[in-house]
Amino acid sequence: MLTNGLLRDVTEEEVATYERDGVVRLRGILAPDLIARLGQGINDALYGQWEAEGIQTYDASATADQLDAAGVAVLSDARAKAIPQEKRGRFVSMIGANTINADIRALAVDSPLPYIAARLFRTDKVNFYDDQTLMKEPGTREYTAFHTDEPYYHLSGDQVCGMWVSPDVVTEDSGAMRYVRGSHRWGTFFKANVFVSQTSIGDLMPEASDEDNQVQLPDIEGNPDQYDILTYPSEPGDVIVHHSNLIHGSGPNYRGDVTRRAVSFRYAGEDVRYRFHRSVPPQPHHTYDLKDGDRIDSEQFPIVWRAE
């Protein structure tokens, strides 16, 4: 049963919240054994396994330092700057850990998550697209700049979501996720940024140049009062689902005593088609054999849920 490990169903009210706000936090929905596998998978993938398997990790803290040295504005604040260098942790992420780690793969394709996507999309078929593992070690100074996921995926369609799942207790102080409520319906295709800065990838790397209709994100971090921002702390067992066009980000992990780990699992529903975007950083585990307009059903993007 694909729904083994689901502690309760998704309610109709939660589906309506996802549709209206572009994000819903599903409290206490995943069983503890799945959460334990997730924690193990993140540790194995980020500490050691990636080197053995030759998959890339992205040290966003190192990027922040390089950008800062080059005079590119990196998001920060007085509290983050006050974290002394010797107590500073790293913001590390990896895309595609499911291809090297059996625990993360199991969560992605053989867990209740695809069913949850089907409920929220009100669809009969769900594909797994990819995953991103994210870790903010104790004392991580870096923000995740507000962004939407659309310019990072080779997809078009409305039924695309990210499911952010953490094995840790995540508080506002340790980097809880933030969402701009309802922004998935603004109808704007934003530029991809470099994660720790509002600067767009296209401004820094011509090979990932922005597409003609992409718009620079507004300065939300600098003007939080002008936006309807939801901050969602999380506990083990919670799943936070956001629409791929919803603006989201997170703050530093100011805490010196807790690591903030998560995997964001990405799913697509029936209305989704392949759409190549120049702004997507190339992924070594992706093959590029689909054409614009194709259904994405393939070994790379497997069907992980079908209604009986």
Ligand X SMILES: O=C(O)CCC(=O)C(=O)O
Q: How far is the CB of 308 from ligand X (least distance, A)?
A: 30
Which residue is at the shortest CB distance from ligand X?
264
Q: Between 5 and 151, whose beta carbon lies closer to ligand X?
A: 151
3-state SS string for the chain: CCCCCECCCCCHHHHHHHHHHCEEEECCCECHHHHHHHHHHHHHHHHHHHHHHCCCCEEHHHHHHHHHHCCCCCCCCHHHHCCCHHHCECEEEEECHHHCCHHHHHHHHCCCHHHHHHHHHCCCEEEEEEEEEEEECCCECCCEEEECCHHHCCEECCCEEEEEECCCCECHHHCCEEEECCHHHCCCCECCECCCCCCEHHHHCHHHCCCCCCECCCCCCCCHHHCCEEEECECCCCEEEEECCCCEEECCECCCCCCEEEEEEEEECCCCEECCCCCCCCCCCCCCCCCCCCCCCCCCCCEEEECC
To ligand X, the closest distance from the beta carbon of 149 in angstroms equals: 5
Least distance to ligand X from the beta carbon of 248, Å?
Answer: 6
| Residue 290 phi, psi dihedral angles, 5° rounding | -90, 155
**Rounded to an integer, what distance in angstroms lies between the CA atom of residue 201 and that of residue 280?**
9
Cβ at position 217, least distance to ligand X in Å:
13
Closest separation in Å from C-beta 262 to ligand X = 5
Nearer to ligand X, 238 or 289 (CB): 238
Q: Select 285 or 295, whichever has its Cβ closest to ligand X.
A: 285
Measured distance CA(111)–CA(108) in Å, rounded: 7
Interface with ligand X (CB under 6 A)? 134, 144, 149, 162, 164, 248, 250, 262, 264
Rounded least distance, CB 161 to ligand X, Å:
10
Select 50 or 152, whichever has its Cβ closest to ligand X: 152
CB of 134 to ligand X, least distance (A): 4
Residue 209 C-beta: closest distance to ligand X, Å: 22
For ligand X, which is the closer residue by CB, 112 or 252? 252
CB-nearer residue toward ligand X: 100 or 263: 263
Instruction: Count the Cβ atoms, other than its own, within 10 Å of residue 186.
Output: 15
Closer to ligand X by CB, 164 or 305: give it: 164
